[in-house]
Amino acid sequence: NKQGQTRFSRYYSGMPIQAEERVLMEADIARKCLKRSDVQYGQYKLAYRRYASLFFVIGFDEEENHLSILELVQAYVEILNTYFDNVCELDIMFNIEKVHVILEEMVSNGRIVETNKHNVLAPVLEMNKASR
């Protein structure tokens, strides 16, 4: 979010071993986004979009298509919006599992699986039913 706190994070190919290290890294990335200074972090490029007070940041490697990543962020936010009916920071905070699940449906293993809104949400809704 705007304060540089991490509300939600997911890693697809390993992550810094130490928890503290990871927190530092996240803070660093957030700072970069807030300052609009650099779109590079180590070997990764960062693509981010800002929605109100929230930043959605994705790190990816050189080969990936920047624009498609940005569109992915857009699609993701749209889906969250549909699911939560006008999503806000609190929604994400308090429904972190749902957020995870939705992302899981869209991105598996670091690759985009599904971008169709309906296809993403259908299993999530099913899961909700199943959990009850």
Partner 1 sequence: MFEKSLTDLIRGIRANKKNEQKYIAACLQEIHQEIRSNDPDIKAQAVSKLTYLQMLGYDMSWASFHVVEVMSSAKFFQKLTGYLAATQSFRQDTDILMLTTNLLKKDLASGNHLEVGIALNGLSHIVTPDLARDLCQDLVSMLSHSRPYVRKKVVLVLYKLFLKFPEALRLSFPRLKERLDDSDPSVICAVVNVICELARKNPKNYLSLAPQLFKLLNTSSNNWMLIKIIKLFGALAPLEPRLAKKLLPPITQQIQTTAAMSLLYECIHTVIIGGILTSGGNSDALAAMCVNKLRIFLEDPDQNLKYVGLLALSKILPTYPKLVAENRDIILKCIDDHDISIRLRALDLVVGMVNKKNLTDIVKRLMSHLLPSNNNNESSTLPSTLLEPAYRADIINRIIFICSQNSYSNIVNFEWYIAVLVDLTSVAGINVGDLLTMQIMDVGIRVKSVRQYCVKAMQRLLSDSNLLENCKFPESNSEPGVTKLPHNVQAVYIQSSLKVYAFWANSLTYNWDEDSKQELLRFTEMIKNKISMFCSCTDLEVQERAYNAREIFSIIHQNLSMTSDTTYGVGNNIYASTNKSPSIISELYPLFFSYELNPVAPKAQKKVPVPEGLDLDAWINEPLPESENNESEEEEESYGHGYTHKFGGSGDLIFSSGSGTAIGRRRGRKSNKKGYDSEEDEETKEKRRKERNERIKNDPFYISSTGKDLSKHSKSDKSDNLSKRIPEEIDVDSIPVVRLTMDEFTFKTDKKTSKKSKASKKEKRHSPPPVPPVIYTDIGEMPENATLSDEEKDTTKTGHNKPVWNTIPSKSGGILDVDFSGVSNVDLSTPLGADEKFPSIAVYLAPEEVRRREEERVRRRVTERRIKQTQESTSRVKKNKSEKPKSKVSIEITPNTKSAEDNGEQSSKSKKVPKKKRTGETEDRKKKGKKDKGKKPKKKNSISDNATLEHNDNDVVVDPIKTLVDSDDIQVLYTLRLGSSTEAKNEAPAMIADFTVRNNCSYKHPLSKLTFAFESTTDIQFNKALIEIGELQHGEQKSVTIEFKVLGIVGAGLTVSGNITYEIQSDEETKTNRDIPIRFELPMAVFMLNMPKITPEEFKSCVSQTGDFPFTGSTSIRLNASINLVEHSFQNDVIRLISMATGTHIVEQVPGAITIYGRSVQGYQVAGLAKLTVEKNLMLVETEIPGSVQNTSVRIELKCTDQAFVDGLIREIDYLFRKDL
Give CA–CA dist 84/109, Å, rounded: 24
Which among 41, 43, 44, 21 is positioned nearest to 31, based on CA atoms? Answer: 41
Candidate residues 31, 52, 53, 116; the one interacting with partner 1 per rule CB under 8 A: 116
Q: Within 13-72, which residues bind partner 1 (CB under 8 A)?
A: 13-17, 19-20, 22-23, 25, 35-40, 42-44, 47, 63, 65-68, 70-71
Query: What is the size of the binding site for partner 1 (CB under 8 A)?
Result: 53
CB of 63 to partner 1, least distance (A): 6
Give the nearer residue to partner 1 in terms of CB position, either 86 or 131: 131
Give CA–CA dist 82/32, Å, rounded: 29
Give the nearer residue to partner 1 in terms of CB position, either 44 or 51: 44
Residue 97 engages partner 1 in binding (rule: CB under 8 A): yes
Write phi, then psi, for 38 (nearest 5 degrees): -140, 145
| Structure token digits, residue 50 | 């800002």
